[in-house]
Structure 1
Amino acid sequence: MRRSLFTPALAAALAVCVATALSAQAPKITPKGDPSVRNDTIYSLAVKAEDHPEEGFVYLLDDGVIRYESDGRGSSTYRQVVQILNEDDVESWSERSFSYAPEREKLTVNWIRVVKPNGEVVAAKPTIEQKSDVPAATSSPVYEQRKVLRYSLSGVAPGTLVDYSVTRERLKPYLPGDFYDSWSVTTGRTTRRSRFIVDVPASMTPK
């Protein structure tokens, strides 16, 4: 039996709800999708650019699904759906990068796509994918091998949505049974929907 803490928040309504279900489990998110979220319900949250003149982009979805075992192993899946509102932020959202420690972690990019609010696919996958090593920091006495995955997207333009999901599997925790995560529904940007799920064994009580 597992314990799940589920916190959905609809920022537009300034409402936050918390529920605990002893027998519930977090959704299994894979490159095939998230069975607990319908894309059209998220894409339909798109805003009018003229209503947000001070923002270059907004979050339609900011989503985190965390799963931990008692020994500290686990996974974290993060998804963001971002609506581009003006040209100023096109370049920054046309490039995405994710780093990880291959000796301890496995990183899976479930999907990165560019779509329109009506669901029409502009780019189903990145045009360029690169993997490279991250140089060790000379100021740190402890060396840990890290790699970075870089992606270039085509079709990003005002009015389009960038939708991506990444899963990081924690295979070897630094300390057995040790883990830490946090979540904030305040991103500094308009965020239409925020969800955070923590799934742990029923014998554990997150604090």
Structure 2
Amino acid sequence: IGVCFEEKNLYESMTAEENLKFFASLFGLKDVDTTGLLERVGLADRAKTRVAGFSKGMRQRLMVARSLVNQPMVLFLDEPTDGLDPVSSKAIRGLIEEEARRGAAVLLTTHDMWEADELSHRVAFINEGQLYAIDTPESLKLRYGKRSVKVRARVDGEVVEDSVALDAEDTGERLKEAVAAEGLLTIHTEEATLESIFIQMTGRGLD
């Protein structure tokens, strides 16, 4: 089992490399590829730097690396991209996908519904200890989303929007007209987001 806590609990007087070696020793491991782990989270050049001098984002990346020292088959990640810039967040998401492909079961807790949608095979909505739903992201969006298409077009110099219901009797005719219109700008399905579904189910936003 590997765990990445939301709360940073690293040894600040130790270097990044020493932190990884120490936690590896708790598993009885001596020959851990600390360089490889640090490279995966973009900290290879800070291996000999004490954690006390690390930024919040650097500490978060080191926490993720630490959770992998024993090559766990079950990985618990609590807000793993918290405090990271977009580039670092993308790298960590890529690492999570690599671990899943390796065969590890990854349990991710996050308030970022886009991240949950991108990474998860199944998602669970939990609010104040109550489980509201558990399913694949696609199934949830199909079940709770609108069966409609949003059309944006430029008419007399102004951008206007229209929603075409997919179950209406005149759906086909209206879509043909929209596609043939000279001022057509965009046309796409109105798919529900996981965030909107969460709010719909729980009656509250994401804190």
TM-score for both structures, normalised by structure 2: 0.22
- Which structure has more RCO (C-alpha within 8 Å, separation ≥ 6)? 1
The structure richer in helix per residue is: 2
Q: Report the TM-score, using the length of structure 1 for normalisation.
A: 0.22
Larger radius of gyration: 2
